[in-house]
Amino acid sequence: MSDDGDGPVIPRAIPNLAVELDQQSDTSDDTNPSDNDEDIPEDTGEAVPGDERRFKLFVQHYPDQRAGAPLNVPANSDNEDDTSSDNPCEPFSGWMNWDFAWWAKTESVSARAVTNLLKMPNVTHRKLGLSYSNAAELNTFIDKTLPSPHPQFKRQEFKVDGHTYEFYYRDPLECIRTLWGDRELTPHLVFLPERHYEDADHTIRVYHTAKWWWTTQKAVDKDSPGGTIIPILISTDKTTLTTFGGKAAYPMYMTIGNLPKEIRRKPLRHAQVLLGYLPATSLDHITCAASRRRTVANLFHACLGLIMEVLKEAGCDGVNLQSGDRVWRRCHPILATFVGDYPEQLLVACVKKGECPSCEIPWDEVGDGIADYGFRDLEEILDALETITQGPTAYNVACEEAGIKPVQHPFWEQLPYSHIYRSITPDILHQLYQGFIKHLIQWLRDAYGDAQLNARCQALPPNHNIRLFLNGITHLQRVTGREHSQITSILLGLIINLPLPQQHSPRRLVRAVRAILDFTYLAQYPVHTHATLEALDDALAHFHANKDIFVDLGVRTHFRIPKIHVVQHYSTFIQLYGTTDNYNTEYTERLHIDLAKDAYRSTNFKDELPQMTRWLVRREKMTHHKATIEWRLAGQPIPTISSHPAVGVSYEHFIKMAKSPSRKSVPLTTLIDTYGATNFEHALACFLVSRKQPTLPWNHVVRRARQVDLSNYAYDIFHFIKFTITDLYHLPKHERIIDSIHVKPARRDQYGHIIPARFDVALIDRGNNLNGIHRYRAGRVRAIFTLPNDLLSEYLGGIEEVPSHFAYVELYTPFSASTEDDHCLYKIKPEMRNGSPVSRVVPVDNICRSVHLFPKFGSVVDANWSPSTVLDLANTFFMNSFSDRDMYYTLSL
């Protein structure tokens, strides 16, 4: 880099991603990225046994060994957290001092409540051994003695048309320094880009890693070899602080792409930093709408420009940073993505409402499914921005010709190695759930009417992953993204076989809905390949091929909706920046609770921003000190960089059974009468005979089972099967329940009201070598039980590895070779033989997950059907592919 004395020269040359994005196969560009690629070491990942959802990875490492390498700088042994004191809580005088302070600052306890507690005669600070007597003294102690993990907030005033607006922000470079040096995050840092493939020939790319980092690394190495890129992810989203009164905050968050997405999206890992609170004003005092919009945009970019100023030089020349393992590297913090809702995207892109923030598609083609328009020409736009010195008229004309609004000095104008129109990433929450899906639900309401949709909602069976809308979906107000997500899991089942008015065929409508749902679920895959990206594009193409049914029904006259257009770019952005769970605003919505709403509730609601920032800094200090205490107790170890877990569409899950049964010693008659296990004795006898003699033909098993008498035995009964996953990165509370199966007879609650019985449907592994859904069989679980010891010894004595828990299930018909037309769901029926359900006893270990079924409603919903009766009364069902993402993938294999 040259320096002319006026600051760093900002490279306007943007990393060239066009070649990579145009490749239909990675064989050309990915396998030969440079002349040195013959020496690239390859690592072969191991597939997890028995889990077909894992990918067997072939890793291609970045070829230039200078990139990301440590600097020859002595490690700094001086650490403010090091202590040789016997008191790990220092500067707190002891555990009581610390424990009380932690409780007071993290349990949403008001300062008045803390002070009043310490004023009680029997709970004084002296009796507790505290060094502070009220909340004010505790706050003073924290402010003066505890180190802050992040820089202090700065205050800046902006005067607009005679009004003054406050702006609080932090130095992003110092925030990066603290994230980079965090001992808890250091083991998970990634210093160089990688390319992952499914095959040794490097032809099938796995897109949980992205192309942007590799290409940007090459661009940085060309100018200054040996650097380590720190991808910066910025997100903003205005949020309301009060239910009434319209009080709002405009937080801005930052994280780094060197951390895995599983770490970044966990609030407990503190990998997201609050950079500041932007002015949340709409400038309503400016009466001219056009002038107001322009001033809002200028204020927005002035604030972000002030924040991002330090990244210009750091991104060009690099800055030496020490990670938590005390290793120094020359790091280049470079803006990678901007995450925000459509209004924020327009502000950042400096384009008008209704336009695409990334491409220059004409307004009359928005929503047509045309994807030939590339990204906006940044070079042309930067040339237009340079004309600001020629006067307002020339500047306005130049900006209009470049397709942007005449904003004064956008914050990204001089950011190195950044292309802002490639950095505005997709947003699952607002674009799909609060955009596409929201529109779709309204179209279906207009097409079918509310009564029909609500009646079907009220007759769906329960499931762990399904929310039952017992009052229907049309009465909801202020529907959240989470509720829209819950509606998508049942939406297709509400319209199957539902006739349209005016004798229109529902086929195109069902296909269009299926296509949108396919796109929504595919877009959220945590791992993508060329095949899944093609499926993503195909789903969108199917929607556009069938969407005219809404025009024919009079529901729509056009589809010029920007949120419908931007999904055209999802495939490109996934190749650029990885899967969409890397940059979803759903994660920042969760941060609003901790970093905006809770902070606001801690204030006296007057001049709240200074109080909010002080409260946040204290919380950060306490959290940092808690981690320091744990580190001291562990012996002050130096963290080491850990290997990264294998990736997969879903993680391995485990069955978790209760330690004690729900009911003990249940006789056979109760199982038949209360649980509906009508064929329990014969099914169990068949299981015992086949287990004892596994090679015996089934007709001989049935014959011998008739001679087995089990009527005098009693069984311990369980009412739940739970499925858990363990977090790959060992997060706190790492065991999480992701699914469950309920097997409970009818009972009365404390008021004497009858709670209906619930016997869920499960997916049972048949033990064959098939893939996908044909490996399984659906069955309704009627009882979960253990065998008494005397029965075990009599019938299964001497057999190794006898299962501990068993399930009595009533089977559904096997899955057909293909799905039904249009809605593409598998149809099943209860399997009957001689008027009785076909039943089996299977080990609980063979049960893979729960299953949700759509009943075949017909044109009118049966009045007797309800969530508790529909599985008994209906005789035809469709497998719900959309109950959750894991089920969708299972049915798509």
Statement to judge: residues 657 and 711 lie in one domain: yes
Q: Are residues 668 and 565 in the same domain?
A: no
**Boundary (domain end) residue, out of 406, 440, 471:** 406
The range of the structural domain enclosing residue 304 comes to 18-72+149-350+407-426+583-633
Radius of gyration of the chain (CA): 31
Query: What integer pLDDT is reported at residue 733 of this predicted model?
Result: 52
Tell me, what's the pLDDT at 800? 76
Whether residue 267 is preceded by a cis peptide bond, meaning omega within 30 degrees of 0, is: no
Do 553 and 447 belong together in one domain?
yes
Domain shared by 546 and 596, yes or no: no
Q: Is the pLDDT of residue 16 over 90?
A: no
Amino acid at 210: A
**How far, in Å, are 61, 465, 632, 863, 893 from residue 455 at the CA level?**
56, 20, 60, 9, 33
Q: Where is the domain boundary, 599, 633, 667? A: 633
pLDDT, tens digit (0-9, with 9 covering 90-100), for 454-499: 999 999 999 999 999 999 999 998 899 999 999 999 999 999 999 9
- The whole-number average pLDDT for the span 670-676 is 96
pLDDT category, 773, cuts 50, 70, 90?
confident
**Is residue 662, in this structure, part of any structural domain at all?**
yes
Last residue of a domain, one of 577, 596, 615: 577
Question: CA 445, CA 487: separation in Å to the nearest integer?
Answer: 13
Return the minimum-mean-pLDDT range out of 34-43, 156-165, 717-726, 879-888.
34-43
Question: Given pLDDT bands bounded at 50, 70 and 90, which one contains residue 161?
Answer: confident
pLDDT digits (tens, 9 = 90+) for 551-610: 999 999 999 999 999 999 999 999 999 999 889 888 888 888 889 999 999 999 888 999
Residue 287 lies in a domain: yes
Which residue stretches of 593-721 are H helix?
A: 598-601, 608-633, 668-673, 680-692, 698-705
* Residue 4 pLDDT: 40
Looking only at the bridges linking them, the beta strands covering 248-249 and 239-240 are antiparallel
The tens digit of pLDDT for each residue in 322-348 reads 999 999 999 999 999 999 999 999 999
In a domain, 878, yes or no: no
How much is the pLDDT for 55?
A: 57
CA distances from 720 to 653, 659, 660, 750, 869 (A): 16, 11, 11, 21, 20
Across the range 776-787, mean pLDDT stands at: 96
My answer on whether 776 and 680 are in the same domain is yes
Q: Which residues lie across from 273 on neighbouring strands?
A: 254
Average pLDDT over the chain, rounded to an integer: 89
| Share above pLDDT 90 across residues of the chain, in percent, rounded to a whole number | 73
Express each pLDDT in 51-103 by its tens digit: 444 557 788 999 998 999 999 877 665 555 666 678 999 999 999 999 999 99
593 and 570 in a common domain? no
CB neighbours (10 Å) of residue 474?
A: 16
3-state class (DSSP) for residue 519: helix
pLDDT value for 46: 35
Rounded Cα distance between 273 and 253, Å, is 6
pLDDT at 650: 54
Residue 2 lies in a domain: no
197 and 313 share one domain: yes
Q: Which of residues 317 and 46 earns the better pLDDT score?
A: 317
Q: Quick check: 618 and 612 in contact, CB under 8 A?
A: no
In tens, the pLDDT along 828-850 reads: 999 999 999 999 999 999 999 99
Nearest to 375 by CA among 347, 393, 398, 351: 351
Q: Are residues 366 and 270 in the same domain?
A: no
Task: Give the chain's domain count.
Answer: 5
pLDDT at 768 > cutoff 80: no
Asked, for residue 638, whether it belongs to a domain, the answer is no
Would you say residue 79 lies in a domain? no
Q: Are residues 272 and 418 located together in one domain of the fold?
A: yes
Same domain, 503 and 477: yes
Q: What is the pLDDT of residue 10?
A: 44
pTM of the model: 0.92
* Amino acid 636: pLDDT: 92
Q: Are residues 342 and 278 in the same domain?
A: yes
Average the pLDDT over 262-287 and give the result: 91
Domain contains 893: no
Strand order in the sheet with 58-61: 42-44, 58-61, 194-197, 205-206
Nearest to 595 by CA among 348, 271, 308: 271
pLDDT at 20: 53
Q: What is the rounded distance in angstroms from the CA atom of residue 610 to the CA atom of residue 613?
A: 5
State residue 24's pLDDT score.
41
Query: 222 pLDDT exceeds 90?
Result: yes
Question: Does residue 886 fall inside a structural domain?
Answer: no
Q: Are residues 737 and 847 in the same domain?
A: yes
